[in-house]
Amino acid sequence: MHHLRFRQIHLDFHTSEQIEGIGERFDKAHWQATLKKANVNSVTCFATCHHGWAYYETAVGEKHPHLTTDLLREQFDACKEIDVNVPIYLTAGVNNMAAVKHPEWRQAGPNGNLTGWAPSNIAPGFFRMCFNTPYLDFLCKQITEVVTLFPDCSGIFLDIISQPPCVCHTCLETMEAQGLDPLNPEDRAQHSKNLLLKYYQRTTAAAKVNDPDMPVFHNSGHITQGDTDILEYFSHLELESLPTGGWGYDHFPMSAKYCTNLPHDVMGMTGKFHTTWGEFGGFKHPNALRYECAAMIAVGAKCSVGDQLHPLGKLDDTTYDVIGAAYREVAEKEAWCDGVTPITDIGLLASAAVNRGTGGHRDNAPDTGAGRILLEGHVLFDILDESMDFSGRKALLLPDDIRVNPELKAKIDAYLAQGSKLILTGTSGLNETGDAFLWDIGADFHGISDCQPDYVEAIEGVRPDFVGSPLVMYMNSCRIKATTGQSLGQVSDPYFNRNYKHFCSHQHAPNKPEASGFDCGVINGNILYLAHPVFSLYRAYGAVAYRHYATNAIRTFLANDLTVSSNLPGTARLHLNRQDAETRYVLHLLYANTILRGGSMEMHGGTVRSTKPIEVVEELLPLHDVQVSVSVPEAVTKVTLEPQGENLAFEQADGAIRIALDAFTCHQMVVLHY
């Protein structure tokens, strides 16, 4: 496994040919002093950028027309002198210089239009390149040139890796030669998959042409769950996830909880920007970056912070003051965050992995909703695809719409035979024809309800503690009637579905006074089933009552099986890792209030993007009177607060360690030594 450093900078340098004086204010002494002050120990520097220009002495591509030095060499040598690693970046999927010189290398969409981030050739933006054209030869030559000129670089970072269906002339010829029909969307998708595999094989070989151990990472902005056949071409994983740049604060922990199950070292990637990449003069509050970096190391990931270097080549002092505030804390904590194994109670089988091609690129509703409920409910979990080993988890969760084929059914049966438990919601667990459950849930199945919405009246202990009336559920439920299982409550139907012939008030009709005769959920031995797609509902509506309903049902079902309980609020986060070599557990407590700021507004007459609401962190408020109980099999001999090195009083009874903290701010590690 390629072992990453904890404190990296991803130093964007996408620089227009219209700007002069490129790199002329690079100063080795200032560069080194700035990185040292900010506790940076790795910097991804640019060989080429999206504009297509090279920043080193190239015989393959074209050097930026206003660069008179070998800027990459100067940056590289300055870093190496102070023991800072240097992975090298090359643009791959977009390249405007190559696109202008060779328009025949550009991708063409199914409608025949040339594709890219710009809607037309007279709009600003970057052009997508087709990996089925000689462009791939050109790219591989650039990669080979870079690893030959910089044989001691710390890896190759290739960006914008995707191959949407393309109907350029080269692709049309290839599809016809392979017996694929360009008019058939499935054939175009298969062709794209073939091209992407060719890209991975050839570019990875080019990067390793001189050194078979050269690290390589291919960036697509998201690690697709279940897409494991390409991972042999990756030395490690960098999880691009800028909370304020479109990914949100829940994307990274969800991505990390999947990727830490893969045989790769993992790095989180956020940005110093208030918005997203390419924001010159934009700064998030230092407290936000402190929290984001703490969230990375809490799940066993390393840290990367994105910056954009000014065309003149001088690092920005304000930027590195902000980064330094976070990285000083990371440097103090990394001894407790390296070589860790996450402790998990529930394995979340990802809908995005099982139902590949049906969910969003970054946001699959069942997965996102389930992840948020488990994070906010402080339940220890990880994310699995169907190829992974399910053992070691106390329960397996299939959220809302998991399609179970015979192979997956057999695997889950073997998992249940070990004494483990299964949680199903919505249509998860139905057979392929959708007319019966594959497992005995302790209830009869009567199809999908025609009512949308309907209402839940859950039993005490499962219903939200602040809800004593029927709770509206906006998506169709499965109709079940409990037989041998324990009913979790009743479903009430509306008087009617809303249409022009019959409607009531502004939204939907109220519930009928009598129950429908169908149950909202059931527990039958080692299976919990909830009839509504409650996780998608939470993703869509964010109703606190939905979270309480789901977590109450899960806690009722798992009872004493859960490793951790606490009085933390839903806005806090909790993770537990084990460090075998140091014979200790590390409990991470995180807390920050994210606030939605800004709003949608058209920036008429300007050249900047229109706006949208952004989730920000500003103040880091202390969380008081924190109580946590942790159940571990070992006899704990000491509990300490780290990195403070302070002993913390604790009680141990029946295998549970009970601790109390007067207060903590942002991030606190509680270490259980055994």
Residue 236 is assigned to a structural domain of this protein: yes
3-state secondary structure of 664: strand
455: its two tokens = 């209402």
- Alpha-carbon distance of 253 to 241, in angstroms, equals 10
Confidence of residue 120 (pLDDT cuts 50, 70, 90): confident
- Does one domain contain both 324 and 375? no
Q: In what order do the strands lie in the sheet with 521-524?
A: 381-384, 346-349, 395-398, 421-425, 527-530, 521-524, 486-487
Q: Parallel, antiparallel, or unpaired for β 564-566 and 527-530?
A: unpaired
**Domain count of the chain?**
3
Cβ atoms of residues 593 and 617 within 8 Å: yes
- The region that residue 105 occupies, defined by phi over 0 for left and psi between -120 and 50 for alpha, beta otherwise, is alpha
For the stretch 432-463, pLDDT in tens is 899 999 999 999 999 999 999 999 999 999 99
74, 210: one domain: yes
- Cis status of the peptide bond prior to 453, with omega within 30 of 0: yes
Domain boundary among 498, 533, 562: 562
Nearest to 150 by CA among 89, 227, 65, 218: 89
Do 466 and 503 reside in the same domain of the chain?
Answer: yes
Please tell me whether residues 300 and 360 are part of one structural domain: no
Residues 369 and 236 in one domain: no
Instruction: Give the residue from 564, 13, 623 showing the smallest Cα distance to 311.
Output: 13
Question: For residue 620, what are the domain limits?
Answer: 565-673
Structural domain contains residue 420: yes
The answer to whether residue 100 sits within a structural domain is yes
Question: Are 583 and 527 within one domain?
Answer: no
Query: Which among 306, 338, 370 is the end of a domain?
Result: 338
Q: Kindly state the average pLDDT of the residues 251-279.
A: 96
Mean pLDDT along residues 526-550: 98
* Res. 146: pLDDT tops 60: yes
| Separation of alpha carbons 662 and 38, rounded Å | 31
Is the same domain home to 332 and 183?
yes
Q: Which of 542, 562, 582 is the last residue of a domain?
A: 562
Query: Across residues 15-41, what is the average pLDDT?
Result: 98
Give tens-digit pLDDT for 50-91.
999 999 999 999 999 999 999 999 999 999 999 999 999 999
- Measure CA 278 to chain center: 21
d(CA 291, CA 620): 9
Distance CA 48, CA 42 (A): 18
What is the pLDDT averaged over residues 6-33? 98
Predicted local distance difference test score (pLDDT) of residue 655: 85
Domain contains 593: yes
For 220, 503, 646, 673, the CA distances from 482, given in Å and listed in that order, are 46, 31, 53, 46
- With 80 as the cut, is the pLDDT of residue 9 above it? yes
Question: What is the pTM assigned to this prediction?
Answer: 0.95
pLDDT given at position 603: 74
pLDDT > 90 in the chain, percent: 93
The CATH number of the domain holding residue 461 is 3.40.50.880
Residue 496 sits at φ, ψ, to 5 deg, of -170, 160
The mean of the pLDDT values for the chain is 96
Name beta bridge partners: 444.
481
Label residue 357 by pLDDT band (50, 70, 90).
low
% the chain with pLDDT above 70: 99
| CATH number, residue 581 | 2.60.40.1180
With contact defined as beta carbons under 8 Å apart, do 362 and 222 qualify? yes
Residue 572 Cα distances to 179, 223, 673, angstroms: 55, 25, 24
Per-residue pLDDT at 360 exceeds 70: no
Question: Which helix H or strand E contains 353, and what residues bound it?
Answer: helix 351-354
Residue 503 has pLDDT above 90, yes or no: yes
CATH code for the domain of 156: 3.20.20.80
347: β partners: 382, 396
Query: Does one domain contain both 131 and 220?
Result: yes
Evaluate if residue 119 carries a pLDDT over 90.
no
pLDDT one-digit tens code per residue, 597-656: 998 888 766 667 788 899 999 999 999 999 999 999 999 999 999 999 999 999 998 889
Does one domain contain both 59 and 188? yes
Contacts of residue 630, defined as CB under 8 A and 6 or more positions apart, other chains included, come to 563, 564, 576, 585, 587, 656, 657, 659, 672
CB 542 within 8 A of CB 605: no
Whether the per-residue pLDDT at 491 is higher than 70: the answer is yes
Residue 48 has pLDDT above 60, yes or no: yes
Q: What is the rounded distance in angstroms from the CA atom of residue 369 to the CA atom of residue 382?
A: 14
User: Which positions ≥6 away from 196 have C-beta within 8 Å?
Assistant: 131, 161, 162, 163, 230
Residue 1 lies in a domain: no
Peptide bond into 151 cis (omega under 30): no
Angle between the N-to-C axes of helices 251-259 and 286-298, in degrees from 0 to 180, rounded to the nearest 10: 20
To 10 degrees, the CA torsion angle through 406, 365, 384, 398? -50
Which alpha helices (DSSP H) does 272-316 contain, by range? 286-298
**pLDDT tens digits, 197-213:** 999 999 999 999 999 99
Look at residue 2 and tell me if it is in a domain. no
- Is the pLDDT at 490 greater than 80? The verdict is yes
The reply to whether 423 falls in a domain is yes
Nearest-CA neighbor of 215 among 288, 163, 276, 264?
264
Identify whether residues 295 and 355 lie together within a single domain.
Answer: no
Length of the chain: 674
Same domain, 175 and 69: yes
Residue 307 lies in a domain: yes
Same domain as 328, residue 372: no
| DSSP E strand stretches across 334-425 | 341-342, 346-349, 381-384, 395-398, 421-425
Instruction: Give pLDDT tens digits for 375-417.
Output: 999 999 999 999 999 999 999 999 999 999 999 999 999 999 9
Sign of CA dihedral 334, 391, 522, 354: positive
Beta strands in 205-296 (DSSP E): 216-219, 237-240, 266-271
